[in-house]
Amino acid sequence: MENNSNKDGEEKPKNFHPKVLLIWLAILAAIIGLAMVQSQEITQSESYVTTVNDLILEAKDGNIEMAIIESDPKGGEEWYAIQGNFKNPNVISSDNGKDYQLSPFYVKGRVTESEYKELRRLLGDKLSEKPSSTIWTDLLFSLLPFLLIIGLLYFLFVRQLRMAGKGALNFGKSKAKLLTRENEKIVFDNVAGCDEAKEEVSEIVDFLKDPKRFRKIGGKIPKGVLMVGPPGTGKTLLAKAVAGEADVPFFSISGSDFVEMFVGVGAARVRDMFEQGRKSAPCLIFIDEIDAVGRQRGAGLGGGNDEREQTLNSLLVEMDGFDGHEGVIIIAATNRPDVLDNALLRPGRFDRQVVIDLPDMEGREAILKVHAKKIKLSDDVDLNSLARATAGFSGADLANLLNEGALIAARRRKKMAERIDLDDAREKISFGTERRRVMDDEDRKIIAYHEAGHAIVQAIVDDGLLPIHKVTIIPRGQSLGSTMFTPKKDILNHSKRRVLNQVCCAMGGRAAEEIEIGDVTSGAAGDIRMATNIARSMVCDWGMSDLGMISFGDKQDQVFLGKELSRAQNYSEETAQKIDYAIKEIIDDQYTRAKDILNENIKALHTSAAALLEHETIEGKHIHEILDQGKIVSPIIKSEPLSQQGKESEDDQKKNESEEDKSKDDELGHGPEPVGIPA
């Protein structure tokens, strides 16, 4: 396979033909020829013009240096054009030291036989004849500009229009990008956290390497593989790894690349893409976000999109008529398999679905090890602990976590990323960036008691699965304060006791406000919304209420909008009232429970709120110290905001640089000391 890139890494034109270059060179030569003819005519018009009699007199005086006579049929019979140079005594030449200078002349008129003989006698060899132009040559020169314009229009438009199946002006050409082995080499070792998916696609690699082994048994490799999973789980990376392991060309295209403003372009691009695949077989064709063109037909406002459906029909026909022995395998990726057309998922098209879910703890640790190879990490960084604290993170989230940690370390003037930098990066990604805004004492007090209420209730009801990580009254994201939790493991199932504890914790903020200020605020809007959603799921989906193990209301997906909008009310109005009552009962009971917990630990509530007002941020261990010992025992270390870090004076900077030069190359350089966060 030829490399399509030059030494500078730039891509060369893929569809370059020498014929095209020759056509352009011919057009350029014709234009230059026309310019030369025009310049010659201009020179003649600017020459000295005389008559035939004057020319004979100058010849008798010996002033003619040379002359060329040419018949001019356009003037009539015996009509000639004479041009040449004559000696002009009025202008002295300083170059050759002579008392004259050669000047051009041009004569056009009737020359009789006697005048011609006289000129021939006087000039002798100085007079030469030029073959006269014919009417055909004149006609050619007059029509040549028009022929050039017509030829250019033909080359630019008519030739392209002949490509009927590929649309006008090459719009039907597939936009699939070819990634060869020289461009990018990705193997299974570069993919982590999805061992089961790698095992499923490994037989595709075996088929591409040795297809005869499968053909002897009579087996057929799947024509298409559909990778399903949330965003950022590595679907595209795994497809590239399959191509890298098999060492075959890899065509990559997005589902949106088939969509164009011209009718029929999407179907044409599908056909061209499969044609390219057949020419490069064995190869892989990867279609990312196939739900852009593979949505269910006939759905949507107005009965669907005809252009998109035509593109899908072309894809279905090409995949169904595709010979599996040709060595071309289609891999597609989507995070919305529920909206795909059923005809696309049947055997013979996408025979196999590979689910790539969010990684577990071991998978997250493996992903962190892969991405950590590109980042300088300190010895205090424990990837296992970091993997435990990042439940629910995808592969892309983990890569972003390490990158953010490296950026924070660079802003703090460090040579390596430390554990504290990665912890701050995790908080930034999970809970938002700190926003230092000015608040009065009343608002700070309300927020402090609100967050302290959450923390006290969670510390009491938690069974060790969801411990408190940090409590802060510094605004983050869209919230004015935050109570952060760090799961100890991946939560796969929700027990009734644990979800009730979550509702109780969500009500802790509102309960603390009512206890302290005797009033409630709008700050608990998000908590109420989350508690209501949990309670509704308990009643309608999980069967955790007195109504029994019944599912109320089927979720309906609006395909044309792509969002879940409503539930189908397949129950009576009386049942709907019971559902509303059951949801309200759950929330009211847990609110009362939260108030009781806070009243029993009222001293701890006041102490925690006072600590938040003083320090703004405290850790989860400080909440437990307040509950157990009535005060904070361990030190509270405050850190400067990232916006203020790195603003050292020039003297301090020079001092730090001199100290770093004296130390070893791998020693860490310290900026402002950040707050320590326990794992």
- At residue 470, φ and ψ (nearest 5 deg) are -160, 150
Longest Cα–Cα distance of the chain, Å, equals 138
Both tokens assigned to 660: 């770093």
Tell me the C-alpha distance between 179 and 241, whole Å. 12
- Return the HEC string of 504-527: HHHHHHHHHHHHHHCCCCHHHHHH
Tell me the C-alpha distance between 376 and 422, whole Å. 12
| DSSP, res 554 | E
For residues 505 and 459, the answer to whether their CB atoms sit within 8 Å is no
C-alpha 519 chain-centroid distance: 49
Tell me the C-alpha distance between 327 and 277, whole Å. 9
Both tokens assigned to 587: 């929330």
- At residue 315, φ and ψ (nearest 5 deg) are -65, -40
Tell me the C-alpha distance between 316 and 602, whole Å. 67
β-partners of residue 566 are: 556
In terms of Cα–Cα distance, which of 128, 37, 131 is closest to 84? 128
Known catalytic residue: 451? yes
Q: What SS3 class is residue 194?
A: coil
β-partners of residue 206 are: none
For residues 660 and 453, the answer to whether their CB atoms sit within 8 Å is no
Tell me the C-alpha distance between 396 and 636, whole Å. 33
For residues 491 and 388, the answer to whether their CB atoms sit within 8 Å is no
Output the CA–CA distances (angstroms, integers) from residue 675 to 58, 421, 617, 678, in the order listed: 106, 10, 10, 10
Output the CA–CA distances (angstroms, integers) from residue 14 to 3, 4, 157, 182, 366, in the order listed: 10, 7, 21, 16, 39
First to last CA, the chain: 50
Tell me the C-alpha distance between 285 and 416, whole Å. 40
Both tokens assigned to 263: 């009718």
For residues 459 and 432, the answer to whether their CB atoms sit within 8 Å is no
In terms of Cα–Cα distance, which of 334, 346, 408 is closest to 377? 408
For residues 356 and 229, the answer to whether their CB atoms sit within 8 Å is yes
Tell me the C-alpha distance between 447 and 433, whole Å. 18
Tell me the C-alpha distance between 347 and 265, whole Å. 27
For residues 308 and 295, the answer to whether their CB atoms sit within 8 Å is yes
Residue in 451, 513, 514, 516 annotated catalytic: 451
Residue 20 identity: V
In degrees, to the nearest 5, what angle opens at C-alpha 258 toward C-alphas 253 and 263?
165
For residues 413 and 669, the answer to whether their CB atoms sit within 8 Å is yes
Q: What SS3 class is residue 102?
A: strand
Query: Is residue 282 reached through a cis peptide bond, with omega within 30 degrees of 0 on the bond before it?
Result: yes
Residues acting as catalytic residues = 451
